[in-house]
Amino acid sequence: MAPPSHCHATNGGGAPQHNGANAVDAPVTRSARLLDAEEFRRHGHLVIDFIADYYAGLGEYPVHPSVSPGFLRHHLPLEPPPRREPDVFDAALQDVRSVILPGLTHWQSPRHFAHFPASSSTVGALGEALAAGINVVPFTWASSPAATELEMVVVDWLGKALHLPESLLFAGGGGGTILGTTCEAILSALVAARDRKLAVIGEDRIGDLVVYCSDQTHFAFCKAARIAGIRREHCREIPTYRDDTFALSPTELQAAMQRDVDAGLVPLFLCATIGTTQTTAVDPVGELCAVAAPHGAWVHVDAAYAGSALVCPEFRGVIAGVEAADSFSMNAHKWLLANNDCCVMWVRTPSALVAALGTEQEYILKDAAAKGVVDYKDWGMTLTRRFRALKVWLVLRCYGVEGLREHVRSHVRMAAAFEGMVRADARFEVVTPRRFALVCFRLRSPKNYRFAGGEKSANELNRRLLEEVNAASSGPYMSSGKVGGVYMLRCAVGSTLTEERHVREAWKVVQGRATSILRKMEIIM
Amino acid sequence: MAPPSHCHATNGGGAPQHNGANAVDAPVTRSARLLDAEEFRRHGHLVIDFIADYYAGLGEYPVHPSVSPGFLRHHLPLEPPPRREPDVFDAALQDVRSVILPGLTHWQSPRHFAHFPASSSTVGALGEALAAGINVVPFTWASSPAATELEMVVVDWLGKALHLPESLLFAGGGGGTILGTTCEAILSALVAARDRKLAVIGEDRIGDLVVYCSDQTHFAFCKAARIAGIRREHCREIPTYRDDTFALSPTELQAAMQRDVDAGLVPLFLCATIGTTQTTAVDPVGELCAVAAPHGAWVHVDAAYAGSALVCPEFRGVIAGVEAADSFSMNAHKWLLANNDCCVMWVRTPSALVAALGTEQEYILKDAAAKGVVDYKDWGMTLTRRFRALKVWLVLRCYGVEGLREHVRSHVRMAAAFEGMVRADARFEVVTPRRFALVCFRLRSPKNYRFAGGEKSANELNRRLLEEVNAASSGPYMSSGKVGGVYMLRCAVGSTLTEERHVREAWKVVQGRATSILRKMEIIM
C-alpha cells in the first residue's frame, strides 16, 4: 500500500520558530475561519457525498481487510503536519478513501455477520452529525436545558417502545439516561449497589462483597466489578449447560449465594443477560430476581444486543419478571439504528445512582428533583457527555416504533432462513436454537465418518471452515464461539444493508468451503 | 412555546397490533431502505445546510435560553411515534430548529464565556460525521485494523505536538489512547495504579489506600476514586492559597503523605492539575512527582483544559518535570478543535493499564505486543469505542500544528486584552493572574465605600453582577467561581467563533451592569 501523500512528510523535522511578541500583534480573526459557515457547508457536502458513496460501494470491499499489523502505522509520517496546506481537506478525504478505508473492517457491509451489529441508519448517522455540529455539553440541566429534557423524554419513549415496566421510567418513579456503552451502564449500577450496601454493612467490608453472573456473561461485567474494587475472586461465574440453552440457573444462583452467605460474605449484585454474546441465551430474569431479593442483591439486566428486539411484542416474554429488576440497559447502537455509541440505561431508584455518583450537595439535588429535571452528570461516571438524545429522538421520530419493528423482524426472518438452510444440510447442525438473529452452527462431529478424534477434531474442522469462509474476499465475514467445549461458527444477521440474497450467498460460501474441506480430508459425507 | 407538530401526538394510544405469522411472510428488503445511499445523500445535504445555517446565525441566539424546568418535556408527546410519516425527516429538522435549538445553551456562540470551551471546528465536526457514517467499532486491532493503527499514530503525533516527553509516547515505550472523557482517563489510571499497588501489599488492603489532590482539583477525581473503591474519607483534598496562585504545595503533599504513612495507610495516587477549573492554577508537576516517588505513588497529570495550550512552545514550562509522571490526559474536545468527545491519555507503562483493564490471556497480549499493535479495549474501561482517531487525525492533518497554535494564541491574546480592560477599570480587580485564556475578576470589595459588610457583601455584589450580565439576552454568558472565600466572575475565552469584538462587547456589558448596580446602591466610585 502506498503511503498517503502528506505534504508534511517532506518536513525536515525542524520545529517552526515562534516569536511570542509577534504572535500577540497578529490579527485576531483567525479562529473564526476554523468554523466558517460557508467553508463548513462546502466541506460538509463533500463529506456527505463521501459517506453516501461509501454506502453505495460497500458491497465492493472485502468485509475484513487482509492486512498485517503495522501496515498503516509504518506508512504514516512520524511527525504531525507542521502547517495547513492548500486544499488539504480534499486531500485528506482522498487519504481516507485510498489509505484508511481499505484497512477497516467494514461493520456496515451487508456481508458482515461476525459481531452483533453496530447498525447504521441514515437518521442515526445524521443524528450524530447534527449533535457533533451543535456540540453542546449537557452535563447539567442548566448547561443545556433542551438536551437534558429531550433525554428525559426519549428514554421514556424508548422504554415504552421496548415494553419495559413503568417502574423503570420517569413516568413511574424510575428513570433513564443515555450513556456510551454497556460497560459504563453496568459499572454505574454496580457502584450504586455497592455504596447502598456498604452504607448498611460498613465501608470496611468492601472485601466481602460478591457479584454473580453466568459463564456466558460478557467479560465486561467482571471487568466492571474489578474496576469497582470487588475482589477478583469474588466474581462468581456460574456454569451453564447446553441442555439449559446456556441460561443461568436460579437453583445454581441460590446455591452460590447461600454458600457465600455461609462463608460470611455478602451477595451484592447479579448481572442477568438477555441475549448473551456467544449464543443469545436468555437468563430467566423473574426467577433470578426472586433468588436475589432475600439477599438484598441488586439485579441488573444486560440486554445490550437483544434489548432492541423487545420493540416487537412477540419478544416480550424474554424479560418476564423484569419488574423486579433494579436496572436495565441495552445498546441502541447495536440493533436499533442509533449509530455508535448509544447505551440506554434505566433504573428503578435513581436516588441510589445519584447517591453514589452525584457530586452536589443534597439541597441542590432536592432542588433539581423538585423542579422535575435531573442533572445527568450525577447519573453516570462522566461529566462530559454528548447530546446523544438528539439521535435517539430522531430515530424514534423518523422511523417510528413500527419502522423499528420491521427492521428487527427483517433480520429475524433472514436469520430464520439461514437456520433453515443449515438444518436442511445433514452435514451441519445448529448448536443452540436460534432465538433472535444469531445462528450458531457447525459441521457435525465427524466421528461417525472416516475422520477420527471426536470433539477436538470437530473443533479443528470447524476452525478451518471459518478460516476458509472468511478468506473469501467477496464472501461473508463470520465469527466463532466456544460453548460447553464445542467450537461453533456464529452468523449474526444485523447489518442494516443485509438483504436475503446476502444471507443465501453466505450460506453457499459456507457449503462450498465445507465440501472442499471435507473432500480434501477424503471424507465422503 | 408551541409544542412540536408531531403527527403522532394525535395517536389515540392504542398500540398497533402485530401478527407474527404475517410479519414473517413480508418481503425482506425493508432494512436496506434505512440506509439507502441516495436518501442519505439527500438528507445529509439538508443536515449540513442546517448546521452551516446554525453557525452563521449563532450570534442571534441568546447564549443561555431563558426557559424553566419542564419547558420542553411537558410539551412533547408521552408516547413515541407509532409509525413513519411522509417527509418526516424534513419535519424533524424543522422541530430541531423551532423547538430544540431555542432551548439549548449555545456552547458555540461567540459570546459563550462561561465554561471552558467545547471547541467546534469544521474539521472536528465533519470528522465526527465521517466516523459516525463509517461506524466501525475498533475495540481490538482485528475489529478494525486501520482504526487502531491510526489511533496509535495520532496519539504520538499529538503527544509530540504538545511537547510531551518521549517516555509517554509509543515511540518511547509508553503509549496513548483516545477516550471520551477525562473522567474515564483518571479512572483508568487510578485502577491501574490500584491494582499494581494491591498486587504488592495484598488485595485486602484496598481500605488503606489514599489518594491526593488539591482543593482546586476537579470533583471528577474524587468521584473516580470512589468509583474505584477508595474510601470516601481517603481522598485528601489539600488546601491551596491565593498567595500560591492556588497551586498544590509539594510541602503540604509531603506532610499529608507522611501523616498517612505514619497512620499505617498507603499513599496510592496523586492527581496533579495543569489548569484547574476555577482559576487555571498550575500544580508544580516535577516537584510533586519527587514527593510521590519515595511512596511509589502514581502521578497522573490532568491537563483537561490547558493541555491544548501545550501546542505552543511558550507554554512548555507549565509541565516542567512531567517526565516523572505516570500518566497524562487532556481533552482535545475542549480547546483543540476536536468536537466533543475526545480525551487523549498517555501512560508511561501501558502494561500496568493492561494488567488492570485487560480481558485476555497473557499469551494473547504478548502476541499483540510482539506484532507492535494493541487491542485498545484493554486500555480503558469500555469495550465499545468510537473511531475518534479519524477526527483527531483530520484535525492535525488539516490545520497542522501551526494552525492549532494560532488558534490557541488568538484566544490567549483575547483573554489578555480582556484582562487589560479589567485592570484599566479601578472598580474591578483581577482575582488571580491570567495564565491561559480564562480571566477571573470581580468588582473590588466595597468596604472602602459607603456600602459595608466586607467580603460577604462583596460576594453578594458580584453574584448580582453576574446575574445581570447573563440576563442580557444579546450579551455574554459568563460563570462564577469561589476561591479562598472570594466569589468571582469567570470569563473563559475559547469559542472558535469568538473574535476580539465579542470580548470588547462583553466587557462593555460588564461595565454597564456594574455601573447600574453600583448606582442603584448609591455607591459613587
> What are the pLDDT digits (tens) for B228-287?
999 999 999 999 999 999 999 999 999 999 999 999 999 999 999 999 999 999 999 999
pLDDT at position A521 is: 80
CATH code of the region A136-386: 3.40.640.10
Residue among B144, B130, B136, B172 nearest B394 (CA): B130
Per-residue pLDDT at B19 exceeds 50: no
Share of chain A above pLDDT 70, in %: 90
pLDDT recorded at residue A59: 86
> How much is the pLDDT for A445?
72
Kindly identify which residue of chain A lies nearest to residue B368, measuring between CA atoms.
A69
Of A223, A231, A357, the CB nearest to B359: A223
**Could you give the residue range(s) of every CATH 3.90.1150.10 domain in chain B?**
35-64+105-118+401-525
Q: Which of B167, B156, B272 is nearest to B212 (CA)?
A: B272
Question: What are the residues whose beta carbons fall under 8 Å from the beta carbon of B255, sequence distance 6 or more?
Answer: none
Check B383 against A80: CB less than 8 A apart.
no
In this prediction, what percent of chain B has a pLDDT beyond 70?
90
List the single residue in A41, A134, A396 with the smallest CB-CB distance to B104: A134
Chain A residues with beta carbon closer than 8 angstroms to that of B218: 383
- Among B56, B102, B203, select the one facing A231 at the smallest CB separation: B203
Residue B203 has pLDDT above 60, yes or no: yes
**Which residue is closest to B88 within chain A, CA to CA?**
A398
pLDDT at residue number B456: 72
Q: Which of A130, A136, A180 sits opposite B47 (nearest CB)?
A: A130
Yes or no, beta carbons of A499 and B31 under 8 Å apart:
yes
* Residues of chain B found within 8 Å of residue A182, distances taken between Cβ atoms: 383-384
Residue of B nearest to A393 (CA): B80
Mean pLDDT estimate for chain B: 91
Q: Given a cut of 70, is residue A269 above it in pLDDT?
A: yes
A203/B231 Cβ within 8 A? yes
Q: Counting one residue from A and one from B, how many pairs have CB atoms under 8 Å apart?
A: 550
In chain B, which residues have their Cβ closer than 8 Å to the Cβ of A157?
Answer: 79-80
- Per-residue pLDDT averaged across A272-290, rounded? 98
The reported pTM is 0.94
Q: In A, which residues are within 8 Å of B206 by CB distance?
A: 206-207, 229
Residues of B in contact with A161 (CB under 8 A): 80
Does the pLDDT value for residue B5 go beyond 60? no
Mutate to test the interface with A, among B33, B41, B122 (most CBs of A within 10 A): B122
Chain B residues whose CB is inside 8 A of the A413 CB are 23-24, 26, 28
Q: Domain A32-61+65-104 belongs to what topology?
A: dopa decarboxylase, N-terminal domain (1.20.1340)
Do residue B37 and residue A50 have CB atoms under 8 angstroms apart?
no
The pLDDT of residue A14 is above 70: no
**Residue A23 in this model has a pLDDT that exceeds 80:** no
Q: How confident is the model at residue B33 (pLDDT cuts 50, 70, 90)?
A: confident
pLDDT for position B10: 31
Asked whether the beta carbons of B260 and B210 are under 8 A apart, the reply is yes
User: How far apart are the C-alpha atoms of B44 and A56, rounded to whole Å?
Assistant: 14
Closest Cβ–Cβ partner in A122, A231, A409 for B40:
A122
C-alpha cell at A284: 430467566
Angle at A406 (CA atoms; ends A404, A407), nearest 5 degrees = 60
Nearest to B126 among A44, A152, A386 (CB): A44
- Distance between CA atoms of B276 and B215, rounded to whole angstroms? 10
What residues of chain B lie within 8 A of the CB of A340, using their CB?
132, 135, 137, 384, 386
Q: What is the number of helices (H) and of strands (E) in chain A?
A: 15, 11
CB atoms closer than 10 angstroms to residue B274: 26
Residue range A70-87: mean pLDDT, rounded: 92
pLDDT at residue number B523? 53
Start-end of CATH 3.90.1150.10 domains in chain A: 404-520
Cβ atoms B241, B268 nearer than 8 A: no
- Quick check: A167 pLDDT over 50? yes
Measured between CA atoms, how close is B333 to chain A, in angstroms? 10
pLDDT computed for residue A450 by the predictor: 46
Q: What is the mean pLDDT of residues B293-300?
A: 98
Residue A17 reports pLDDT greater than 80? no
Considering chain A, what is the average pLDDT of its residues? Answer: 91
At residue B14 the predicted structure's pLDDT band, cuts being 50, 70 and 90, is very low
Quote the CA–CA distance of B436 and B306 in Å, as a whole number. Answer: 7
* Separation CA B260–CA B285 (nearest Å): 21
pLDDT number for residue B72: 95
Average pLDDT (A241-249) is: 96
pLDDT of residue B279: 98
pLDDT at B473: 85
Give yes or no for residue B89 having a pLDDT over 80. yes
d(CA B445, CA B458): 5
On chain A, the residues whose CB falls within 8 A of the CB of B129 are: 44, 47-48, 51, 125, 128-129, 132-133
Looking at domain B35-64+105-118+401-525, its CATH class is alpha beta
Amino acid B450: pLDDT: 46
Q: ipTM strictly over 0.90?
A: yes
Residue type, A333: H
Report the relative pairing of strands A343-347 and A428-432 from DSSP bridges.
Answer: unpaired
**Exposure string (b/e) for A25-50, b if CB count within 10 Å is 16 or more?**
eeebeebbebbbbebbbebbbebbbb
Whether residue B41 and residue A52 make contact (CB cut-off 8 A), yes or no, is yes
Start-end ranges of CATH 3.40.640.10 in chain B?
136-386
Give the residue from B134, B162, B311, B339 with the most A CB atoms within 10 Å of its CB, the best one to mutate.
B134
With CB atoms and an 8 Å threshold, state whether A149 touches B73: yes
- Measured between CA atoms, how close is B64 to chain A, in angstroms? 8
- Distance (Å) from the alpha carbon of A523 to chain B's nearest alpha carbon: 33
Give A183's contacts in chain B (Cβ within 8 Å): 381-384
How do residues A288-334 score in pLDDT, each as one tens digit?
999 999 999 999 999 999 999 999 999 999 999 999 999 999 999 99
* DSSP-assigned beta bridge partners for residue B302: B273, B329
CB contact under 8 A, A78 and B156: yes
pLDDT band at A237 (very low <50, low <70, confident <90, very high): very high
- Closest CB from B49, B84, B220 relative to A403: B84
- Cβ distance of A40 and B108 shorter than 8 Å: no
Q: Work out whether the CA dihedral B425, B430, B433, B438 comes out positive or negative.
A: negative
The answer for residues whose C-beta is within 8 angstroms of residue B127's C-beta and 6 or more apart is B338, B339, B390, B391, B392, B393, B394, B395
pLDDT at residue B500 in the model: 96
Closest CA to B338 of B416, B395, B418, B400: B395
pLDDT (average), residues B111-138: 97
Q: CATH assignment of A404-520, given 3.40.50.300, 3.40.630.40, 3.90.1150.10, 3.40.50.920? A: 3.90.1150.10
Distance from CA of A516 to the nearest CA of B (A): 27
Residue A103 confidence class, pLDDT cut points 50, 70, 90: very high
Q: Which residues of A touch B372 (CB under 8 A)?
A: 69-70, 73
Residue A176, pLDDT > 60, answer yes
Confidence of residue A60 (pLDDT cuts 50, 70, 90): confident
Residue B343 has which C-alpha cell? 480525551
Give the pLDDT band of residue A359 (cuts 50, 70, 90): confident
Nearest of A462, A445, A471, A453 to residue A517 by alpha carbon = A462
- pLDDT tens by residue, A181-223: 999 999 999 999 999 999 999 999 999 999 999 999 999 999 9
The pLDDT value given to residue B55: 97
Q: Which residue of A has its CA nearest to B157?
A: A80
